[in-house]
């Protein structure tokens, strides 16, 4: 029997439920805690009411409970230096330190690093004054992308078809400061043509190992219409990421980034997630994240056959080169069930029915994202993205059909979901190979 480790998962969303679900399957997992967790995570872990952004509270929890491994889900505690604080106390943590987390925490930092590393990306300008931003928009015209520099909960990117839309975006970000300090600078960049893909890899400071390919659906409406969200669904594998493209991304994007970070004295260990635009088979980087994507994490955890504790240990210890990762050859798809009004203002507290019925399919899992329990113990809505219904299938269409069949058993007032998850995979493509 392998040594068992007490583990803490930090976060409260669908990504964290998927990570906790997968960690619970490891024979090396002892006690499993989650801070703060949600109504679904409590089925596999002991939830502790410490906010994911409360670095001091999390460190105190780890010390008090003598946690052996901390798995950080969201970006905010990474950018706040949670891993640094834990390592300074001799604790093991999965995720980059504060300096590496700047890849996601500052879009300006990421763009400048890409330029230094020779990574293909859109032409850009970094501006720190609203009048400079407006002048740049007048000079280059539209379409143009306006991005808040700092963390904005996935909502700081404006794809503007007209100069008027771009000026309005600058007014919101830099004038009204709707994202607070994250809007102190903006990145203005050219709009790239092509098809988006999520490319997630693990890095241990030296070695880069790609995870199975996946693709997200950011817009709220069918046919990729309406405003951007945190993600309305995802599937894996992504046919747009061919073996040839995977090799190119590793060699021209990920390895140069890790090498350039190392040259700057930054030892990057964790998830390196490149948001790509694929045009005529060639990749360009839209942005970087430094954690598992949500909802991409859900189908990836469904497909991962390897022990996740072993994989995370290999990243922390610099042993990725000798740690193969095995994947289920089947496809997986995640359909996000959202609250009415999302991605705008929502009301919380609606009772969710049908969860027990939805749990009957062995090849489907309902990952909770924005859920809680009310005073009577009922599971109720507590966020914009409420559930991530995830299923396996022999093909992408098969996995998608199973996910929708499972989601159809769930009910709460005004629930919404996209009805075309996986449409970009094409009929009959993405066999799960």
Give domain status of residue 112, yes or no: no
Average pLDDT over residues 255-261: 98
Q: How many CB atoms lie within 10 A of CB 360?
A: 9
For the chain, percent of residues with pLDDT exceeding 90: 92
CATH classification at residue 185: 3.30.1490.20
| Domain count across the chain | 3
Whether 10 and 151 map to the same domain: the answer is: no
Distance CA 16, CA 22 (A): 10
CATH classification at residue 331: 3.30.470.20
Q: pLDDT band for position 152 (50/70/90)?
A: confident
Whether 319 and 411 map to the same domain: the answer is: yes
Select from 199, 209, 292, 291 the least CA-distant residue to 245.
199
Whether 388 and 266 map to the same domain: the answer is: yes
The reported pLDDT for the residue numbered 281 is 87
Last residue of a domain, one of 167, 190, 213: 190
Give domain status of residue 117, yes or no: no
Whether 225 and 182 map to the same domain: the answer is: no
Q: 184: which 2 tokens?
A: 């102190």
Give domain status of residue 81, yes or no: yes
Select from 100, 105, 189 the least CA-distant residue to 147.
189
Whether 293 and 411 map to the same domain: the answer is: yes
Whether 151 and 231 map to the same domain: the answer is: no
Whether 373 and 336 map to the same domain: the answer is: yes
pLDDT tens-digit series, residues 282-338: 999 999 999 999 999 999 999 999 999 999 999 999 999 999 999 999 999 999 999
- Residue 77 CB burial class (10 angstroms; 0-12, 13-18, ≥19): buried
Give domain status of residue 432, yes or no: no
Q: pLDDT band for position 433 (50/70/90)?
A: very low
Positive or negative torsion for Cα 145, 123, 216, 150: negative
Whether 206 and 223 map to the same domain: the answer is: yes
Whether 421 and 352 map to the same domain: the answer is: yes
pLDDT tens-digit series, residues 372-399: 999 999 999 999 999 999 999 999 999 9
The reported pLDDT for the residue numbered 196 is 85
Last residue of a domain, one of 152, 169, 190: 190
Give domain status of residue 421, yes or no: yes
Give domain status of residue 111, yes or no: no
Choose the weakest-confidence range: 10-19, 132-141, 216-225, 379-388: 216-225
Give domain status of residue 431, yes or no: no
pLDDT tens-digit series, residues 205-219: 999 999 999 999 988
Q: For 265-327, give the DSSP string.
A: T---EEEEEEEEEEETTEEEEEEEESS--TTTHHHHHHHB-S-HHHHHHHHHHT-GGG----B
What is the overall mean pLDDT for the chain? 95
Last residue of a domain, one of 190, 214, 245: 190
Whether 354 and 371 map to the same domain: the answer is: yes
Select from 243, 249, 236, 244 the least CA-distant residue to 284.
249
Average pLDDT over residues 416-428: 81
Whether 376 and 361 map to the same domain: the answer is: yes
Distance CA 389, CA 368 (A): 8
CATH classification at residue 58: 3.40.50.20
Give domain status of residue 293, yes or no: yes
pLDDT tens-digit series, residues 52-98: 999 999 999 999 999 999 999 999 999 999 999 999 999 999 999 99
pLDDT tens-digit series, residues 333-359: 999 999 999 999 999 999 999 999 999
For the chain, percent of residues with pLDDT exceeding 70: 98
Is residue 204 predicted with pLDDT exceeding 70? Answer: yes
Q: Which residues contact 106 (CB under 8 A, 6 or more apart)?
A: 149, 150
Domain of residue 184 covers: 123-190
Whether 216 and 85 map to the same domain: the answer is: no
Q: 196: which 2 tokens?
A: 């988006």
The reported pLDDT for the residue numbered 1 is 45
The reported pLDDT for the residue numbered 426 is 61
């Amino acid at each position: 029997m392998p040594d068992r480790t007490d583990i803490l998962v930090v976060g409260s969303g669908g990504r964290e439920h998927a990570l906790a679900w997968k960690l619970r399957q490891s024979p090396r997992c002892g006690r499993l805690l989650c801070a703060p967790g949600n109504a679904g995570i409590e089925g596999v872990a002991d939830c502790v009411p410490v906010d994911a952004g409360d670095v001091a509270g999390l460190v105190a929890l780890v010390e008090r409970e003598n946690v052996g491994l901390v798995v950080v889900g969201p970006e905010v505690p990474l950018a706040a230096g949670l891993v640094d604080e834990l390592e300074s106390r001799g604790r093991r943590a999965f995720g980059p330190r504060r300096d590496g987390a700047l890849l996601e925490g500052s879009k300006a930092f990421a763009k400048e690093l890409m330029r230094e590393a020779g990574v293909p990306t859109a032409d850009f300008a970094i501006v720190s004054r609203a009048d400079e931003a407006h002048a740049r928009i007048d000079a280059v015209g539209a379409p143009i992308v306006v991005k808040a520099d700092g963390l904005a909960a996935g909502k700081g990117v404006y794809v503007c078809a007209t100069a008027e839309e771009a000026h309005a975006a600058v007014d919101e970000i830099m004038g009204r400061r709707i994202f607070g300090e994250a809007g102190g600078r903006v990145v203005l960049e050219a709009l790239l043509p092509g098809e988006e893909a999520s490319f997630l890899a693990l890095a241990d400071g030296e070695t880069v190992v790609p995870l199975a390919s996946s693709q997200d659906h950011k817009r709220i409406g069918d046919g990729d219409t309406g405003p951007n969200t945190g993600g309305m669904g995802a599937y894996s594998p992504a046919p747009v990421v061919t073996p040839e493209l995977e090799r190119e991304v590793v060699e021209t994007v990920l390895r140069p980034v890790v090498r350039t970070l190392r040259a700057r004295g930054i030892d990057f260990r964790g998830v390196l997630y490149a948001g790509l635009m694929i045009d005529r088979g060639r990749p360009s980087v839209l942005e970087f994240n430094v954690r598992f994507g949500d909802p991409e994490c859900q189908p990836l955890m469904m497909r991962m056959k390897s022990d996740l504790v072993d994989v995370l240990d290999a990243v922390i210890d610099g042993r990725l080169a000798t740690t193969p990762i095995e994947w289920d050859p089947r496809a997986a798809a995640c359909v996000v069930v959202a609250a009415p009004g999302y991605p705008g203002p929502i009301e919380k507290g609606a009772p969710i029915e049908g969860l027990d019925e939805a749990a009957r399919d062995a090849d489907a899992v309902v990952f909770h994202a924005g859920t809680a329990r009310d005073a009577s113990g009922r599971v109720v809505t507590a966020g914009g993205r409420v559930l991530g219904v995830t299923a396996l299938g022999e093909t992408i269409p098969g996995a998608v059909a199973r996910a929708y069949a499972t989601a159809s058993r769930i009910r709460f007032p005004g629930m919404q979901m996209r009805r075309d998850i996986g449409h970009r995979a094409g009929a009959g493509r993405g066999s799960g190979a």
